[in-house]
Structure 1
């Protein structure tokens, strides 16, 4: 009787540093170094504050978008929800019958509650009526801005309510308060994904919805909740935006931010078809996109060319995801 022995397969060659997993970080560091050596006064607190402030609302919206995309969804309505939130708030803190204190408190609560309910509407279309997420959220993408214009009467509203504008003007150590709000929300989101049952359910639904359902994961409830979270964060981002500008324009608040948020999620490394989620990657992706925009601006690159370059970066990020998978 002859015995045979199997020769073990040689181990795969693995790169000592997984470049594809840290592409956003590498690209961001490279862009920072480029500006350090070529852009005057880049390493100043003012420049840091400008870039972080302009990134804050994209990251806040991007956190909600990351939850949604993690479940194989998409939310195109976030910009319109920001406009709705920004249109409701002035009606409250400028209402003389409420008074400045009560009106300001309500202006921080009711707009976010309203956009949370609209997020639930998106989730209801996706879960109860089995509407594709891109179609379900397209409803409010189109109609939501119209609702905001009706609320505001289509007019630009200027205000100087200090209790509210502090959300956009207050600073700590020379950095805008909205940056610290962004970091706090990011820390909570990272904890939720990594340490809570809901976070594990989100990842399970994105990885394989049918297997998650058979394992007892409440798939529809999880999907509903991520759209509610996205709506709540969009509402907060809308308040921050109008507080920074000391004005509310329903035509402009949140315009195209859904594209920036989706781009930040994709560049950051979250898989658009589930299976991999990274909140820190969303932050890095948003920082990279903002710094790229800033770099092109200070180098005098025309807006049209800058848009093409930004699109090329997004295509590269998606291509990298396919390679990773």
Structure 2
């Protein structure tokens, strides 16, 4: 076997860094962490990973346009605050079926409106994405706390709880939901006109505009999808706990989502949207948190670990370009 053949067979850290990292984490846990391969551990990690993956897929689309969305955690909190309020309303008590539809539909609709707000600020008014989404990052969670008076909201609704506790073929419902969303978004990115336009905008916005691509609409679309998925993730968190805490839902999710997207191969300068890569990144982020927790390491260390993961991912991206 000649040298070029050996090079093709070898694992390149710049291209396969995420897969290598995942393998190392799994092997470490198999050796060190008790009960790592037990079904209950698998279910817990899938449930926790699902919300990160759902938000990370939306974040991937935004980053692919050359943007960023810091408001996803606040959108999760806002959606999570609205669902119990609807369930506990007189309307929902008198009309359980319509109440369920409203408790899912209204928060998602509000989340989509948040995406329109972010997209308009970025595309129509030329506000830098980090500044535009910082507005909702600050005000969105505050609005959620105002709506709930800062109180923990508890409720019980079996059909709604299925979002967070249901099982399909023995696996958490959220895991299947992640797979369905990933397949749909992968098709959109690879096959649809919107997907091709989105990558073109991120690759070279000026050239995309000169070629007639509706840059404003593409950017707004990316932010709308991202916010809608964040709203869905917020509902899943509420469904898992049968309770809503506006101060905690989605807290620091923007960091997890960005980290998962970057680790999964999304280029920060835009032009690339690996949807399944975002899921791989979410798995890594979740397993890092689980590994630290299972081995008695403080939660604060997880923040340092996430920062190190992002730095490593960005370094590998640069190495791949050279």
Tell me which interval the TM-score lies in, with the shorter structure as reference length. over 0.9
**Distance apart, 1:72 and its partner CA:** 0.3
Cα separation, 1, equivalents of 2:246 and 2:302: 26
Q: Does 1:49 align with 2:40?
A: no
Distance (Å, rounded) in 2 between the aligned partners of 1:169 and 1:120: 31
Q: What is the CA-CA distance between 1:15 and the residue it aligns to?
A: 4.4
CA offset digits 1:81-136 (Å, max 9, x no partner): 11111111112222223322111111111110111011101000011110000000
Q: How many residues align structurally?
A: 315
Note the C-alpha offset of 1:159.
0.7
Query: By how many angstroms is 1:14 displaced?
Result: 5.5
Q: Secondary structure at the match of 2:91?
A: coil
Is 1:117 equivalent to 2:125 in the alignment?
A: no
One of 78, 92, 95 as aligned partner of 2:89? 95
Which structure dedicates a bigger proportion of its chain to helix?
A: 2
> By how many angstroms is 1:155 displaced?
1.1
RMSD of the TM alignment (CA)? 1.7
The corresponding residue for 2:289 is: 293
* Residue of structure 1 equivalent to 2:213: 217
Structure 2: where are the runs of 5+ without partners?
Answer: none
After TM superposition, the structure 1 = structure 2 runs for residues 25-104 of structure 1, keeping only pairs within 5 Å, are: 25-98=19-92, 99-104=95-100
Residue segments in structure 1 that go unaligned for 5+ positions in a row: 1-10
**Structure 2 matches for 1:113-262, cutoff 5 A?**
113-262=109-258
TM-score under structure 1 length normalisation = 0.93
Q: Does 2:239 match 1:280? A: no
Cα separation, 2, equivalents of 1:256 and 1:313: 16
Q: Does 1:324 align with 2:320?
A: yes
Query: Which string of whole-angstrom CA distances, capped at 9 and with x for unpartnered residues, describes residues 245-292 of structure 1?
Result: 110111111111011000101111110001332111111111011111
Q: Secondary structure at the match of 2:269?
A: coil
For the pair shown, the structure with the greater C-alpha radius of gyration is 1
TM-score for both structures, normalised by structure 2: 0.94
Task: Tell me whether 1:22 sits opposite 2:49 in the alignment.
Answer: no
d(CA) in 2 for partners of 1:253, 1:31: 27
